[in-house]
Structure 1
Amino acid sequence: MHSIFRWTTSLMLALGMAVTAHADDTAAQIRQHTADHRMLVLGEFHGTRETPLLVRQLVDDYSRNGAPVLLALELPRAETPMLRDYLASDGGTAARQRLHGRAFWTVRDDQHDGRRSRDMLALIEDLRALKAQGRVIDLVGYDVDNSDGGNQARDDRMAAELRRLYRRLPEGARMLVLTGNVHAMLQRPAGAPPEMQTQPMASLLRDLDMYSVRLEAQRGHLWACLDRCKALPIRDQPARGPEVDTDAGREYDLWVWMPELSVGTLDQQ
């Protein structure tokens, strides 16, 4: 019995270390290619375990040596005061309950689009711990508080908010934006469905010092909302390195492939 427990615990620790190592490798690739760009837009599949770990690694890397980092999450702007309060808290039970109890984090129906997960909450806690160590870190939501007006109106408003935040960055600061991969596009691709926005969010920010990265994976599962929200398999593909795109018609500046994506823990209770 005890040997089985020790074996299971060791396996879980090994898997966790492997995921963290992959996040570090991918973060290094991103840092290499983004160079000194001040705004980094990460286009993700919502609801995975690995992406919050990657974002945590990037914030850790960029905030070393006292450099300020602003992380903008695709959460409603109304969540920003609570996010900042949590970063300034001791991370204790009362602080966690105030954050976790917000209406945004307790959605449990078929519209659970993956932006709410224990993995994202763990990311927020990790940022709090880094800030408590003296890192200069800020955390905001930039999404609209409701989606009335359609896809284009939403992207217009998100882009306007990110532009406002960018203009208020302190000297030497870097801004990381985590968003769905459609919002991170530099232009609408040919053959896009008619309901897709004409100008994705990132395409409205191209005049800024911005760099758009598409986060992909070689295998695993993603979380998608089609007829309903559910896990979908990623088509297996061989290992490949990062790919830079400089074509005028590019959709992203950089594509990176993590070894694997897995669906995070979406149930908050």
Structure 2
Amino acid sequence: MKKLLLLATTIILLSAQTTQEFIEKNAIRVQNELPAKIYKIIKPYRVIILGELHGTNEGPELIYKLSQLIHSKKEKVAVGLEMSETFQKTIDTFFQTNNFEQLKQSIPFNYPTKFQDGRSSTAIALLIKKAALKEIPIICYDPEDWNNRDIGMAKNITKVFQAKKLDKIILLAGNAHALLEKSTQQKSKPMANALFSSKFSIFSQKDILSIHMRSYNTKAWVMLTEIPKIHHFSPIGTVYSKYIPWDMYFLHEPHNSKKYNATFFWRNITASPPLNWKK
């Protein structure tokens, strides 16, 4: 797990960049609500993935806003979380009872702190709560068997998409899983790639929008040490942070077909500790 998180952190901080000219011409400023322009861009896609660094507030909040935007357009949408498929029953029960205290005391939110890797954060719990109020389904797609894990993820997502007859599914995933093409550091194809390149695929690459979560200043609850904690990553100056003064923007990058074909940039990303964390 630590090696995977280190790979994800490296990818998010050092991945290839788009040119200054392209960013200045095409970036869409975001303040509170998502602009209508963003829906026009995402409308053709059936699978939207946000490649994140686990343990932040901004990733889950964006997933909720995207799902709400699509839901408001009368499209049938679900949200997929990188949580074990064994947790699905708990999610389904919460949608029926709306008992947040019961959810709080369930696996994985009640795991001891040393096992909390950011995927069961307060922000994730609030995403589930808000999605339930809007009746936007939550899907736990991480397979119980981690042999060929990313292939298992892609299979679970594909099955749910077909079974629920969805128009779109929005996935929150570690950024290593969101790569459209396998990196030299990966032994097998990442989930995003497997969704369109496997024998069971119902999607083409043109159906997949993989958004890279980028920032200048980042704090996140991640498992990079023996005991997970809030890590502060030193500010990284890139073309994404240098040439646009905005605190937040969206950028469609269809020319980047090998890694991520979009960016969502935040000037500052903040940490979201586990739901039951006590200092």
TM-score higher than 0.5 here? yes
1:197 maps to amino acid: K
Identity %: 20
Report the counterpart of residue 77 of structure 1 in structure 2: 85
1:41 to 2:45 alignment: no
Larger radius of gyration: 1
Tell me by how many angstroms 1:178 deviates: 0.9
Q: Deviations over 1:97-153 (max 9, x none)?
A: 32222121112233311011111111111112222xxxxx21110112254x3xxx1
TM-score under structure 1 normalisation? 0.76
Q: What is the number of residues matched between the two proteins?
A: 229
1:244 to 2:250 alignment: no
Check 1:245–1:267 CA distance in 2 against 1; reply closer, same or farther (3 A cut): same
**1:202 maps to which of 186, 192, 201:** 192
Within 5 Å, which residues of 2 pair with 1:3-152?
22=31, 24-25=33-34, 30-89=38-97, 91=98, 95-131=99-135, 137-145=136-144, 147=146, 149=147
Residues 224, 232 of structure 1: 8 Å contact kept = no
Q: Deviations over 1:28-66 (max 9, x none)?
A: 675343232111111111110111111111111110143
Within 5 Å, which residues of 2 pair with 1:178-189?
178-189=172-183
Check 1:267–1:125 CA distance in 2 against 1; reply closer, same or farther (3 A cut): closer
1:113 maps to amino acid: D
Tell me by how many angstroms 1:247 deviates: 4.6
Separation in structure 1 between the aligned mates of residue 225 and residue 82 of structure 2, nearest angstrom: 22
2:86 maps to amino acid: A
1:252 maps to amino acid: Y
- Output the aligned Cα RMSD: 2.3
Separation in structure 2 between the aligned mates of residue 182 and residue 125 of structure 1, nearest angstrom: 26
1:233 maps to amino acid: F
Report the counterpart of residue 233 of structure 2 in structure 1: 233
Report the counterpart of residue 221 of structure 2 in structure 1: 223
Residues 79, 137 of structure 2: 8 Å contact kept = yes
TM-score under structure 2 normalisation? 0.73
Separation in structure 1 between the aligned mates of residue 32 and residue 82 of structure 2, nearest angstrom: 20
1:164 to 2:159 alignment: yes
Unmatched runs of 5 consecutive residues or more in structure 2: 1-29, 198-202
Separation in structure 1 between the aligned mates of residue 145 and residue 32 of structure 2, nearest angstrom: 32
Separation in structure 2 between the aligned mates of residue 257 and residue 110 of structure 1, nearest angstrom: 30
Residues 41, 252 of structure 2: 8 Å contact kept = no
Residues 118, 273 of structure 2: 8 Å contact kept = no
